[in-house]
Structure 1
Amino acid sequence: MTQARPGQKVVVLGAGMVGIACALSLQQRGMAVSVVDPLGPGAATSHGNAGVLARSSLLPFNHPGLWTQLPGLLRGKNPGFRYSPRWMLDQWRWGLSFLGHARSSVFLETTTALDALIRHSGDVHHRWMTEAGVAHRRRDDGWLFLYRSEATFEAAAAGRETLARFGVRTRSLDADALHALEPHLKPVFRRALWVQDASSVDSPAEVVRGYAAWLQTLGGTLRIDKAQRLTRDAPGWTVHTASGMALAAEHLVIALGPWSRDFLREQLDLRLPMGFERGQHRHFRPANGASLNRPVYDTAGGYVMAPMAQGLRLTTGVELNAQHAPPHREQLEAAERAAREAMPLGERTEEADWLGSRPTLPDCRPMIGACPGRDGLWLAVGHQHIGFSTGPGTGELLAQLMLGEPTAVDPHPFRPQRFLCG
């Protein structure tokens, strides 16, 4: 793979958190960067999340305990997990590979890799937010895992042990201590885990847009346009867009989130083993002056509720389904019912319900690095539901690999070669 040099042109496809982070990291190193996205920065997958930047996100869904949970999950007993049987049958290879990675050895490799990427991302986020003028959107008071019984708290002991092993600062709370932190939660929770190594923001989309505006002040270009066709030229790649533009560059970065799979298959016959963790959100006005100081995860209700600029954002758990399948509101309605048991929610806001897909590879790690057998093509895809927490670290790692710099994180666990051949 030919390394990049300062002054060369780079086209980044995708203006979510990951794409904008890649563009920023490259622009700051002297590359001439253009970002292409049909919707604009932070308008798609990066718009719909709980805005949490948490080291606790190092825990992948396919942990070794998944095997004992599987019968209940398949019976639909977990409010935070839904799936389409038709999609699972169609994507059985992805499903078997996902389950095959739920082993202790892979779990250790994944948690170690994700912890390093999340820690590095957190440092970069803090620096970038200040430089981009969006630091006022950040809170540094952690987030809460809520448990409705002592039994469910004890059942989560393995997760707490993993966090402790990686030095993630947490504090176990009883009902009184929880009430002191979040006095407007209803008294339905017996225990809580306060993850103190966490920040959150009041608008993930606005943070991405702030980064994109900063990118442009640094000389980067943002084009609201759709990449329709790629051609390989002697010096690099040309991106042909829906508006008729032809953008030539020595290097091309694919950071299209869930759209990466179909785009790479259609354009280059590259087949990513990618599944989709679909999720939804809805906003509410607080009732009777109630408020939250930080995001909370109701482990029994299967939802996260976070204070946002738009009000209280209620986000659902996971639905495994086709990316473009019609929305199923049952999971969102169930999350609302559970949330009303826990918080004085008022009316819904005028903002429409949101649905998005989080792209997940079988080992729950993103691909970051050079695409095998495609000189000048780089991948930053597959960040599942933690792209907001891992975006800046991804951008820095990709830029370091492209320019041959020492890397701040071990790139080996994220190498595209683990699923793609040259």
Structure 2
Amino acid sequence: MTRTALVLGAGMVGVSCALALQKRGFTVTLIDRREPGRETSYGNAGVLARSSIAPLNNPSLYGKLAGYLGNGHPALNLSWRRALTRPGWLLRFLWEGRPSQAAARIAALDSITASTVERHRALMAEAGVAHRLRENGTLKLWRSEAGHAAAQAEHHFLKRHGIASRLLDRQGISAVEPHLNPIFRAGLLIPSNASVDSPGAVTAAYAALFAGRGGQIVQAEVKALTRQDAGWRAATDKGTFEAGIAVVALGPWSGDLLKPLGLDPRLDVERGYHRHLKPEARATLSRPIYDVDAAYFMAPMEQGYRVTSGVDLSFRDAPDAHRQIDGVTEAAREAFPLGAVAGETWRGARPTLPDSLPMIGEAPGNPGLWLAFGNQHIGFSTGPITGEMIAAMVCGETPPADPKPFRPERYIG
């Protein structure tokens, strides 16, 4: 069973792992309880985020905490019951954001975002969905007068890391996106980012590419993972599957599967919401925008204009809390002529580790068990390189990015 693999989780990260292993001659079985791309990889803004190199818990977070804790800001909804249930995780998350760690975290994220667009462009061409790719950047916007300084600071930060951006005033914003209402005073156009019109459909297309090359996709819920003499066995509600290696890429559910093995990756989740709205009066946006002060993305999608919420730090499976998505929907209407809501409000969860970096590598003390999760807000962007890193390490090759910052040993003893 040495050239066989189980990949558990069919989001962007899992599908990318399956493709990368298959390319190296492995017979791969991809298992998920839902169809590929229907969980976390479905519900994002579709941004291929080359510029996402600053961890969420960076030093600037400390100055914002007081404004977040009362749950009055759209960027965060905090369940105090959840926070008090796992205070150690939250404290570690804040501790990891100290200034002395920032440079190393930025360098690590830079290493896995640098080839984001290039890798997706190649995969989308192979999968026959190149028409879904937009390479016209993303637009970050500020409503307040203070936005000019914030935009300049980010422009210089990105420039120091070799990422181009263009500062825009009110007139410049209108020239780039003429149908936005003139409520924004400053903007930053980041042309090295790209986007897609349906992240779920792109993930599904990559899965279809994998299946077309002989890969097996099983829609089943994984109940348990156990080590066998010659490899690993996954017990599901549709039978058992065995292989020489197993890759856990179940996103926010990964910890549930690892706990019975005595492995605690210190994984937690951030919930998020989106809804689609139809435009009014033939208004259009040509790229995703991020409204910094109102804390939402708005992106042109196949289903309409997708508006995404900030972070909801509630229990993963708690009932929906629509305060944030309702608030940002109204804020989006101020920015752009939106009409009726199309379809139901979606809720999902993102896997988050205390240092805002993914876990990519072999589980300590468990030969043949590989971990690929915790990509937080950039899993859709960094899925392909994560898959290549896993497959390269499995085969003893040099991975395309230094795996040390992402090693499981940093949290699993």
* TM-score, structure 2 as length reference: 0.98
The within-5 A match list for 1:2-401 is: 8-155=3-150, 157-243=152-238, 245-265=239-259, 267-349=260-342, 351-401=343-393
Q: Does 1:414 align with 2:380?
A: no
Asked whether the equivalents of residues 59 and 159 of structure 1 are also in contact (C-alpha less than 8 Å), the reply is no
Q: Give the SS at the match of 1:352.
A: strand
Q: Secondary structure in 2 aligned to 1:336?
A: helix
Deviations 1:53-104 (CA, angstroms, capped at 9, x unpaired): 0222111111111111111121334321111111111111111110101122
Quote the Cα distance in structure 1 between the aligned partners of 2:153 and 2:97.
14
| Contact 2:113–2:381, Cα closer than 8 Å, also in 1 | yes
1:27 deviates by 0.3
One-letter code aligned to 1:308? M
Q: Partners of 1:144 and 1:155 in 2: how far apart?
A: 14
| Unpaired runs of at least 5, structure 2 | none
The separation in 2 between residues aligned to 1:408 and 1:147, in whole angstroms, is: 36
Deviations 1:333-357 (A, max 9, x none): 10011011101001011x2110011
3-state SS of 1:288 partner: coil
Distance 1:88 1:256, change over 3 A: same
Once the two structures are overlaid, the 10-residue window that deviates more, 378-387 or 55-64, is 55-64
How many residues are aligned here? 413
Deviation at 1:156, TM superposition (A): 5.1
The secondary structure found in structure 1 opposite 2:247 is strand
In 2, the alpha carbon distance for the partners of 1:153 and 1:66 equals 19
* Partner Cα separation in structure 1 for residue 226 and residue 286 of structure 2: 50
List gaps (5 residues or longer) in structure 1. none
1:142 deviates by: 0.3
- The code of the aligned residue for 2:143 comes to R
Task: Tell me which moved more, 76-85 or 288-297.
Answer: 76-85
Larger mean Cα displacement after TM superposition, 68-77 or 248-257 = 68-77
Provide the rounded CA distance (Å) in 2 between the counterparts of 1:275 and 1:9.
Answer: 30
Alignment check: 8 A CA contact 1:169 1:196 kept: yes
Q: Secondary structure at the match of 1:69?
A: helix
Q: Secondary structure at the match of 2:365?
A: coil
String of CA shifts for 1:308-342, please: whole Å, max 9, x gaps.
00000000111111110111011111001101110
Most deviating of 56-65 and 355-364: 56-65
Once residues 78 and 267 of structure 2 are traced to their aligned partners in structure 1, the CA distance between those partners, rounded to angstroms, is 15
SS of residue matched to 1:169: coil
Structural RMSD (CA):
1.2
- C-alpha separation between the residues in 2 aligned to 1:288 and 1:268? 56
Runs of 4+ with >4 A deviation: none
Q: Secondary structure of 2:272's partner?
A: strand
Report the CA distance between 1:159 and its aligned residue.
Answer: 3.4
8 Å Cα contact 2:224/2:257 also seen in 1? no
- TM-score normalised by structure 1 residue count: 0.96
